[in-house]
Structure 1
Amino acid sequence: MWTFNLYKRPKINGAQLAAILPLAVVHTLGNLFTNMSLGKVAVSFTHTIKAMEPFFSVVLSAMFLGELPTLWVVASLVPIVGGVALASVTEASFNCAVLSRCASRCDYALVQDNKTTSDPLGAGFWTAMASNLTNQSRNVLSKKVMVNKEESMDNITLFSIITIMSLILLAPVAIFMEGVKFTPAYLQSAGLNVKEVVVRSLLAALCFHAYQQ
């Protein structure tokens, strides 16, 4: 947006970047936890759990901003929490009995008896919940560090800087863990069309950023 003058380029100083850095960290963790959950359980189940984001937003706003919800807001959260609880109990890849047994540190054989479940320890559930916590922490804390408008910082600029910082934070970790697997030579050796991968990646990035905005 800034390169093509689609949006005014902000003037950011070091103090502002230091204030935004914690937001970038929790933003990175939120996306990391989301993808970890998607890798453990069905996509539909992950997004069902993430439907509890409004609940986390209300709780965190009350804790950190002192914004107490109205009775109508609390009432609107009841079907959300109830629906997520029902989906969690009935989800085939999430076994509540196994999770409770593991949490109480019972015999290892209890886990072995339930190996038929795809996510016996509930990792997909807990990482989705962690994603809710981190993403809504980012949103709530953003209000606390929001710079005055006269200093050219608005919501779009703030999120753009958070995204860039998140890339800088996560790229070294991804390269260290996975190695360099996004070179044209590697993609071609894997039987992929390089041009198609690049185009789809750019479209996915554009849609994801627009969705987050």
Structure 2
Amino acid sequence: MLSSNVIPSSSPVTFSKPNHHFFINASPNLKPNPLRRFEAQHRATPLKSFKLSFIPTSQIQPSIAKLGSFSRFLSHPFELSSKPRYEIVKAASEANPEGENVTPTDPKSKNLKLGLVFGLWYFQNIVFNIYNKKVLNIFPFPWLLASFQLFVGSIWMLVLWSLKLQPCPKISKPFIIALLGPALFHTIGHISACVSFSKVAVSFTHVIKSAEPVFSVIFSSVLGDKYPTQVWLSIIPIVLGCSLAAVTEVSFNVQGLWCALISNVGFVLRNIYSKRSLENFKEVDGLNLYGWITILSLLYLFPVAIFVEGSQWIPGYYKAIEAIGKASTFYTWVLVSGVFYHLYNQSSYQALDEISPLTFSVGNTMKRVVVIVSSVLVFRNPVRPLNGLGSAIAILGTFLYSQATSKKKAQKIEDEKTS
């Protein structure tokens, strides 16, 4: 049926050809089909030079979607979708308000994609930790290395925004002010972890960093949040396991221990402060938020890095080149540490957009186990039996904590729906 929003329904549509004139009444009130009458009357003299081609809108939309898939892949190479979960649900509800004609998701395909996301996330984290430690072993200047890693992440995000591969959020003065606190605590957490990596084994730093839930519960409770008994009980094995691992650590260093603890405090305060200061900017997705935090953190960190160790960089550079033999190898290690630092953080934000908090927490716990085991195998750090036991207890406590807090969040959501 021919219908148009441009031509009124009562107007005839005229097609002209030499020696022939045909009229089709496009009125919707006409019951007989005009196209069939037209075909019956003029079957002997078909219109050879005239074609009508109509493309259904159901075919146009997938074509447009295919054109944008490549750019989404460049800006979100390790995710299931570039949109946060709430945007996907909203779009689906608007397109199908009655819930009809919705294609069910293949569980096998979804599990495969989730496995790919977690696999890449773990791989990127392992590569970062290995090359970060390799650089620090021959170039023990964590302030400069941490600054370079933030610099790489800043350039990465600026390129995505400038090429429009990632939508840039609207920048306003209130948004920048709201980011100043989270960016400051992110800077503290990042540089403290990097200093800890330079002083002790990678495995030991990650064991201490598994105690982050302890600080999260303590600070949140001080600010008024209430936690069930299961959450408080879950932090007991974390404290005991970290204490046992610290006492039996072969490469124990007081500065390394304290920096790992300070890193926990920094990241916990970043999360708490972000939740409170960015409530009015929920439209900004996780990747864009992390991009701006990275840029502000670089502005915080680099001037301090120059003051703390800037005078030692040039002599330290020549010593590193002498120790490694080739300057190109040193450059490659530094660049890989910077690129994969951003990639694994980007993947974690994208994974958090796609999966539930419980799945993310469990995945994050298992990621720490994989990183600890990988670092021990690569650097061949001696591990005492009690040290391994302490690490296992701490990680088990982290797992129990993630389950307990997930139940708390689920109960809170259920209460809000009921009220």
TM-score by length of 2: 0.39
Shift of 1:72: 1.8
Shift of 1:130: 0.8
- Match for 1:163: what amino acid? T
Q: Distance in 2 between matches of 1:15 and 1:85?
A: 42
1:86 counterpart = 2:244: yes
- The superposition leaves residues 50-88 of structure 1 with CA deviations (integer Å, 9 ceiling, x where unpaired) of 000111112222222x22111222222222221111111
- Match for residue 257 of structure 2? 125
1:163 counterpart = 2:294: yes
Which of the numbers 160, 180, 196 marks the counterpart of 1:21?
Answer: 180
Q: How do 1:67-82 residues align onto structure 2 when only pairs under 5 Å count?
A: 67-82=225-240
1:6 counterpart = 2:137: no
Comparing 132-141 and 76-85, the one that deviates more: 76-85
- Match for residue 109 of structure 1? none
The alpha-carbon distance between structure 1 residues 61 and 44, as it changes in their structure 2 partners (threshold 3 A), is same
Q: Distance in 2 between matches of 1:83 and 1:160?
A: 34
Q: Distance in 1 between matches of 2:274 and 2:345?
A: 17
- The superposition leaves residues 21-63 of structure 1 with CA deviations (integer Å, 9 ceiling, x where unpaired) of 1211111111111111112222211111000011111222222
The alpha-carbon distance between structure 1 residues 197 and 33, as it changes in their structure 2 partners (threshold 3 A), is closer
1:135 counterpart = 2:294: no
CA contact (8 A) 1:147 1:153 kept: no
Consecutive unaligned residues in structure 1, runs of 5 or more: 95-118
CA contact (8 A) 1:40 1:123 kept: yes
Q: Distance in 1 between matches of 2:178 and 2:341?
A: 25
Q: Distance in 2 between matches of 1:12 and 1:67?
A: 31
CA contact (8 A) 1:48 1:87 kept: yes
Comparing 192-201 and 10-19, the one that deviates more: 192-201
User: What count of residue pairs does the alignment treat as equivalent?
Assistant: 183
Larger relative contact order (Cα-Cα within 8 Å, sequence gap ≥ 6): 1
Q: Distance in 2 between matches of 1:33 and 1:201?
A: 16
Which of the numbers 318, 327, 333 marks the counterpart of 1:192?
Answer: 327
Shift of 1:193: 1.7
Whichever of the two has the greater Rg, that structure is: 2
Q: Percent identity?
A: 38
1:54 counterpart = 2:213: yes
Shift of 1:212: 5.2
Q: Distance in 2 between matches of 1:196 and 1:34?
A: 22
Q: Matched residue of 2:194: which SS?
A: helix
The alpha-carbon distance between structure 1 residues 55 and 170, as it changes in their structure 2 partners (threshold 3 A), is same
Which of the numbers 328, 340, 343 marks the counterpart of 1:207?
Answer: 343
- Match for residue 110 of structure 1? none
Consecutive unaligned residues in structure 2, runs of 5 or more: 1-159, 350-419
- Match for 1:7: what amino acid? Q
Comparing 170-179 and 138-147, the one that deviates more: 170-179
Which of the numbers 178, 181, 192 marks the counterpart of 1:33?
Answer: 192
The alpha-carbon distance between structure 1 residues 141 and 13, as it changes in their structure 2 partners (threshold 3 A), is same
- Match for 1:77: what amino acid? I
- Match for 2:286: what amino acid? N
